[in-house]
Amino acid sequence: MKKWLSIIFVAMLVLSMAACSQKDDKSNNKESEPAAPKVIKIGAIPDQSAADINRSMGDVAKYLADKTGMKVEYVPSVDYAALVTAFQRGEIQLAWFGGLTGVQARNQVSGAEAIAQRPRDAEFHSVFITQKNSGIKKLGDLKGKNFTFGSESSTSGHLMPRYYMIEAGIDANKDLDGKPNFSGSHDTTYKLVESGAFKAGALNEAVWEAAVKEGKVDTNKVEVFYKTPAFYDYNWTVNKMDKATKKKLTDAILSMGSGQKKILDLFQTDKFVETKNENYKPIEKVAKELNIIK
């Protein structure tokens, strides 16, 4: 009888331990899912006019709030690095990044995900511009000339232009007239070249096209002399968050259409489409080759 009681006791103990284990597993699973943020704070790299960015991102915040029912706020950033840092600290839940800053941010936050881009971002380009009387017709002609990039953290204003300069045999740190300048933004780049402060520069093709269309740059003074091959660039990236919130934000961004023309015009697109982290692996590879990221 004692033997049977012992067997029953052991069996009950095993079942009890198993039940506790299942509870712990469920508890751990719940802990692995982040809580939904009370406020969605969004940001954008300051790649051009602060007034334009503030206006467009303010409209985006309002649209997302109306569409999702969540509280959404836009938080300006002083430069590219500041936005990456704020994202890494969890102070920004949704950001409009360039290709390089997106890679930098996602590398620092496990679970961060690129969710949307403009159709043109799958085949984006940088343009090299120069004064019309400079004699510069190809990348090799930059040797001995002064030159300005955009932001040091810009994909289309620095990373890819530097890469294609190297491909053409130009080391920006050795072959130019002094060290290259970093203007901080694409619109400043074309203004510096137009003014004669620099013989040439490189910038985002979308900003250049908009400047030409809107008459913001004098094309009697400045012209494009080289356009890079295509690469992936800008993207909306979400920070690590619960699946439900991520889906709401993704669906809201992808749903922008003709009714949001004011917003989309400022992004120089007519819609956003899905993207994924893997699309930006080539950007990461180039950045590592140039020792811009480790």
How is the chain split into domains, by residue range?
39-121+232-281, 125-227
pLDDT at 86: 98
Query: Token pair for residue 273?
Result: 């489409």
Confidence of residue 15 (pLDDT cuts 50, 70, 90): very low
Q: How far apart are CA 293 and CA 283, in angstroms?
A: 10
Closest CA to 231 of 172, 138, 162, 168: 162
Domains 39-121+232-281 and 125-227 share a fold: yes
Confidence of residue 5 (pLDDT cuts 50, 70, 90): very low
Nearby residues of 247 by Cβ (< 8 Å), 6 or more positions away: none
First to last CA, the chain: 69
Residue 19 in this model has a pLDDT that exceeds 60 = no
Q: Please answer whether residues 109 and 88 qualify as being in contact, where contact means their C-beta atoms are separated by less than 8 angstroms.
A: yes
Residue-wise pLDDT for 220-261, tens only, equals: 999 999 999 999 999 999 999 999 999 999 999 999 999 999
Residue recorded with tokens 């949307």: 116
Residue 187 in this model has a pLDDT that exceeds 50 = yes
Task: Provide the CA 146 distance to its chain's centre, in angstroms.
Answer: 28
Surface-to-core class of residue 271, CB atoms within 10 Å of its CB (0-12 exposed, 13-18 middle, 19+ buried): middle
Tell me which fold the domain 125-227 belongs to: D-Maltodextrin-Binding Protein; domain 2 (3.40.190)
pLDDT at 32: 63
Q: How far apart are CA 268 and CA 218, in angstroms?
A: 21
Q: Please answer whether residues 292 and 159 qualify as being in contact, where contact means their C-beta atoms are separated by less than 8 angstroms.
A: yes
Side-chain-side CA neighbours of residue 249 (13 Å):
30
15-19, 54-58, 276-280: which has the minimum mean pLDDT? Answer: 15-19
pLDDT at 34: 79
pLDDT at 198: 98
Closest CA to 48 of 229, 230, 253, 268: 268
Taking domain 39-121+232-281, whether its CATH number is 3.40.50.980 is answered by no
6-10, 50-54, 92-96, 256-260: which has the minimum mean pLDDT? Answer: 6-10
17-26, 48-57, 177-186, 256-265: which has the minimum mean pLDDT? Answer: 17-26
Q: Give this prediction's pTM.
A: 0.83
Closest CA to 53 of 120, 114, 61, 251: 61
In 136-268 the beta strands, taken as DSSP E runs, fall at: 147-149, 181-182, 200-204, 222-227, 235-238
Closest CA to 118 of 280, 290, 278, 264: 264
3-class secondary-structure state, position 118: coil
Higher pLDDT, 19 or 125: 125
3-class secondary-structure state, position 269: coil
Confidence of residue 206 (pLDDT cuts 50, 70, 90): very high
